[in-house]
C-alpha cells in the first residue's frame, strides 16, 4: 500500500478564495503600518516601500525587521486586526479535507492566531495537525529556503512525500527544489504572480477549485 503524502497548505488566498478580498484588508493595514512607522507622508510612497520590501526580503515584515528593527509581534498584531466576516464555513472544503488521506499542515507567513481564526471561520480546523507560522520558522518567510527546511525538520516531513499548495508561484519554487510536489492555487490578483508567468516547470499542478482538486486526488488514490 502506498504511503499517504503529507499535505502542506498555505493559508491566505489558498484555503479560501482571493475573491473574498480578505487579504486586501491586511494589505491596507500593512501600508498604514509602513506609513506610520517610517513617518512617510505620502500613502503611495508607503505602498511603494511596502512592495519593495516584499520583493527584496520575501515579506514586508522581513524588510521592516532587517532595515528598521521592527518588532514582528507588533506588526503581526496590527496588520491582522481585520474583519473575518467575509469568510463563511466551507462544507465542500471540509468534506474534501476529511476524505483526503495523510497528515495536513498549515504553512503560513502570518501568525498562528490569524491562521487559527481563519480555520475556525471556514470550519476546517479539525483537519490540521499543526500550524507552522512565521515564529516557528525563526521569522524567516517563504520563499526563503530556510523557512521550508524549518517546516520539514519541525514536523519530520520527507520532502519527496509532501505536497505543497500555495497561491503564489514564487513560493512553490523552493518547495519543488527540495523535492516536494507543488500545486498552484490560481487567482487573478495582480500581486499573486510577482514576476512569474505561472508556466514555470516548478509548478506541477494548478487549480482554481481547491475542494474539487482534492476530491479528484482522493478518488485517484
| Position 207 pLDDT exceeds 90 | yes
Q: What is the pLDDT of residue 188?
A: 76
Mean pLDDT of 168-186: 95
14-73 tens-digit pLDDT: 999 988 888 889 989 999 999 999 999 999 999 999 989 988 887 899 899 999 999 999
Separation CA 107–CA 166 (nearest Å): 9
Mean pLDDT on 153-170:
96
d(CA 121, CA 98): 17
Residues 191-204 have pLDDT tens digits of 676 666 767 899 99
Please give the Cα distance from 215 to 92 (Å, whole number).
Answer: 9
- To the nearest whole number, what is the mean pLDDT of the chain? 92
Alpha helices by DSSP H, 58-199: 60-68, 72-79, 91-99, 112-122, 145-154, 169-178
Phi, psi of 164 (to 5 degrees): -115, 130
| Structural domains of the chain, with CATH | 6-18+88-220 (3.40.50.1000), 22-79 (1.10.150.450)
pLDDT tens-digit series, residues 79-110: 999 999 999 999 999 999 999 999 999 999 99
pLDDT at 213 over 50: yes
pTM of the model: 0.91
Q: What average pLDDT does this structure show over 153-176?
A: 96
The answer to whether 112 and 135 are in contact (CB under 8 A) is yes
Q: Which pLDDT score, from 0 to 100, does residue 1 have?
A: 42
Q: Quick check: 3 pLDDT over 90?
A: no
The reported pLDDT for the residue numbered 191 is 67
Percent of the chain predicted with pLDDT > 90? 78
pLDDT tens for each residue of 20-37: 888 889 989 999 999 999
Amino acid at each position: 500500500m502506498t504511503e499517504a503524502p503529507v499535505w502542506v497548505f498555505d493559508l491566505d488566498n489558498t484555503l479560501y478564495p482571493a475573491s473574498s478580498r480578505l487579504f486586501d484588508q491586511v494589505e491596507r493595514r500593512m501600508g498604514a503600518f509602513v506609513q506610520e512607522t517610517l513617518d512617510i507622508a505620502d500613502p503611495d510612497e508607503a505602498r511603494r516601500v511596502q512592495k519593495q520590501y516584499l520583493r527584496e526580503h520575501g515579506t514586508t515584515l522581513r524588510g521592516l525587521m532587517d532595515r528598521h528593527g521592527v518588532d514582528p509581534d507588533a506588526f503581526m498584531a496590527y496588520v491582522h486586526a481585520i474583519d473575518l466576516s467575509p469568510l463563511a464555513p466551507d462544507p465542500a472544503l471540509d468534506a474534501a479535507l476529511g476524505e483526503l488521506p495523510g497528515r495536513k499542515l498549515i504553512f503560513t507567513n502570518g501568525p498562528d492566531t490569524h491562521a487559527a481564526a481563519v480555520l475556525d471561520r471556514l470550519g476546517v480546523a479539525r483537519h490540521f495537525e499543526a500550524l507552522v507560522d512565521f515564529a516557528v520558522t525563526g521569522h524567516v518567510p517563504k520563499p526563503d529556503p530556510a523557512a521550508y527546511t524549518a517546516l520539514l525538520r519541525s514536523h519530520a516531513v520527507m520532502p519527496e512525500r509532501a505536497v505543497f499548495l500555495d497561491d503564489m508561484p514564487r513560493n512553490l519554487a523552493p518547495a519543488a527544489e527540495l523535492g516536494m510536489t507543488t500545486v498552484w492555487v490560481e487567482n487573478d490578483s495582480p500581486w499573486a504572480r510577482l514576476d512569474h508567468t505561472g508556466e514555470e516547470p516548478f509548478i506541477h499542478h494548478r487549480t482554481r477549485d481547491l475542494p474539487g482538486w482534492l476530491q479528484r486526488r482522493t478518488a485517484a488514490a
